[in-house]
Structure 1
Amino acid sequence: MSHDLQALARRLERAQALQNERFNLAAGGQSLPVGGGYAHFRGEGHPLNQALGLTEAITESELSSVEAFLGAPTVLELSPGAHASLWPLLAQRGYRLHQFQQLWTRPLEGVEPTLPLVGIRLVRSEEAVMYSRITCAAFLERDDWQELDPPFLTPLSVPDAWGFLALVDGQPVAGGMLGIVEDIALFSGDGVLPRHRGRGLQKALIQARLAFARARGCELACASTAPGTPSQRSYEACGFRVAYPKVEMARG
């Protein structure tokens, strides 16, 4: 691996870990610092229980502490910036490949810092439940979001983080998050209700967040997607290019 790629991975993994730490604490979760990043725990069986941002060496004892903290399954999100000593340790302890991701980036030079786009607006603090229901319904491939009980609420009181909504005929039908950490714009939580897909709403949400981040002095944007998904195509269409692959490793 080139030194430049490793340096980029370490920078981006740190930013993502710090943003997740903000959201975890705002949601009442617990955190365990490890390997330059964090293990986050929100309750038994919670889908966001995982460790990420692991770019420093980790001992077997530290990994055992993470496993006890997170419980089963123990999920680690890893990048090319992970310390080389971690891989044989995971093999010894029976970790398996859980899933792949791609990390996408684009420079913000040349992005016009203007907003809002028509049909895109910021989420208000009192709309946290509505926003979480819409994005969760999109993930579950459902259009009937009004009565949905999402497995977690997206905190909207996190410093340097904003939710965005896309509206059709005045009704919210899609959303996405933006966080800023150390001049890096972090895109996450994109979701469009199934019956409204194919209208370019995710691309509009991406473009609005790019302009918003540029207006706040960010120099680089990044996002993670599963390979070969519509989200990947939307980010590529908005000028993002793949920076490196990521893997989630799991045990138990």
Structure 2
Amino acid sequence: MSPQLGLFAGTVLSARVERAERSLIEEGARAAARRDPRERVLMVPLGSGLAVWAGPGSPLDKVVGVGMGDEFDDAALDAVEQAFAERGAPVQFEVSTLADPSVAERLTRRGYVLFGFENVLGLRLNPGRQAHTAEAVAISDVGPEEFETWLNVVVDGFAAPDTQGIASHEKFPRDAIEHSVRDLTSSSGFVGSLARIDGVPAGGASLRLSDGVAQLCGAATLPRFRRRGVQGTLLAMRLAAAAAAGCDLAVVTTQPGSKSQQNVQKLGFQLLYARAILVHPAPAT
């Protein structure tokens, strides 16, 4: 496949992607607050970024988008750390390698530990993009009547991650994954897709459209259906839908060296940048 031309992974592109990520996490947190008003959901701006706590063990509990132009002072960071400590939670920053380098320096001086990296890959989308799919895989958008089926497939797939590449340091309780997926599906521009093989649910994925950026997220395949073209077909269909909706950029976040990264690179995605995962441990109890 020919290389993507004109997709330069600079600070402008990174800031655009990080804004989309921030808006996704923020909308998920707002949905968590609506779902359970008793939870002390936290949403605190930190310069260009946002600190979110959406519930115990939630995948949404993180700080995203920092270092992309707007600064934050130590007092704001103190307040975030105190709020997370009150909830018995670690503080996890996901910092782009194209963010202001002083952010990572400040965090390490405060005792944050580097736990790993995640890769952000991108693909330029052109109008009229067509989907090339595996013959045995059927894809449908998820309506209300199929939502629970889709949710179970996605959560079950996440519970049995592919072992190729670098393993994630994160492990989430099943109920926390289910809550976060439900919350994210209420995000604007969000569409779920369900894959079937011989009429049997085999995998699921989601697509979020935000300011011309197509975010590919929530993809999972049940173990017995892996290596049969499910993820490739889900990818192809979502990319075609995003192009038809007028998006000019598709992005996906993967573990380094994972099967997911391999799948998207087969479709022409290129590595844009990485995010460093920096964590301040939860207070001892």
Give the alignment's TM-score, normalised by structure 2. Answer: 0.79
Residue 96 of structure 1 deviates from its aligned partner by 0.6
Task: Quote the residue 1:208 is aligned against.
Answer: 237
Identify the structure with bigger relative contact order (alpha carbons < 8 Å, sequence gap 6+).
2
Structure 2 match to 1:7: 12
How much does 1:114 deviate? 6.5
Between 201-210 and 119-128, the greater mean CA deviation after superposition = 119-128
SS in 1 for 2:60: coil
Q: Residue 224 of structure 1: CA displacement?
A: 0.5
Alpha-carbon offset, residue 37 of structure 1: 2.1
Q: What corresponds to 1:48 in structure 2?
A: 60
CA distance in 1, matches of 2:59, 2:82: 17
Unaligned stretches of 5+ residues in structure 1:
143-147
Q: Percent identity?
A: 31
Q: Is 2:211 the partner of 1:163?
A: no
1:180 corresponds to 2:209: yes
Among 96, 109, 122, the alignment partner of 2:126 is 109
2:84 corresponds to which of 64, 70, 83: 70
**Counterpart check, 1:22 vs 2:34:** no
The TM-score, its normalising length taken from structure 1, stands at 0.89
Distance 2:204 2:186 in 1: 16
CA contact (8 A) 1:39 1:70 kept: no
Partner of 2:51: 39
Residue 109 of structure 2, aligned match among 72, 86, 92: 92
8 Å contact 1:75–1:249 — kept in the other structure? yes
Letter in 2 for 1:88: E
Contact 2:91 2:279 in 1 (8 A): yes
Q: Structure 1 residues 129 and 69 mapped into 2: Cα distance closer, same or farther (>3 Å)?
A: farther
- The residue aligned with 2:143 is 124
Alpha-carbon offset, residue 47 of structure 1: 3.2
Cα distance in structure 2, aligned partners of 1:90 and 1:45: 22
Q: From the superposition, tell whether residues 47 and 217 of structure 1 become closer, same or farther in structure 2 (CA, over 3 Å).
A: closer
1:193 to 205, 214, 222: 222
1:141 aligns with 2:160: yes
> Given the superposition, is the C-alpha separation of residues 210 and 111 from structure 1 closer, same or farther in structure 2, using an over 3 Å criterion?
farther
State the AA in 2 paired with 1:106. Answer: L
Moved more, 53-62 or 230-239: 53-62
Q: Residue 233 of structure 2 aligns to a residue in which SS?
A: helix
Q: 1:221 to 1:59 in 2, by over 3 A?
A: same
| Equivalent of residue 276 in structure 2, options 240, 247, 251 | 247
CA contact (8 A) 1:58 1:85 kept: no
Structure 2's unaligned 5+ residue stretches are 1-7, 34-40, 162-172
Assess if the C-alpha contact under 8 Å between 2:141 and 2:192 holds in 1: yes
Distance 1:20 1:165, change over 3 A: same
Q: 1:66 to 1:81 in 2, by over 3 A?
A: farther
1:127–1:31: structure 2 CA closer, same or farther, 3 Å change rule?
A: farther
Distance 2:43 2:133 in 1: 35
Give the whole-Å Cα distance in 2 for the aligned partners of 1:17 and 1:98: 21
Identify the residue that residue 267 of structure 2 maps to in structure 1.
238
Paired with 2:119 and 2:213, the residues of 1 have a C-alpha distance of: 17
Computed over aligned residues only, the root mean square deviation of the Cα atoms, in angstroms, reads: 2.3
2:133–2:233 Cα contact (<8 Å) kept: no
Find the aligned partners of 1:239 and 1:26 in 2 and give their Cα distance: 34
Residue identity opposite 1:68 in structure 2: Q
Count of equivalent residues: 245
Quickly say closer, same or farther: Cα 1:90–1:110, change in 2 above 3 A. same
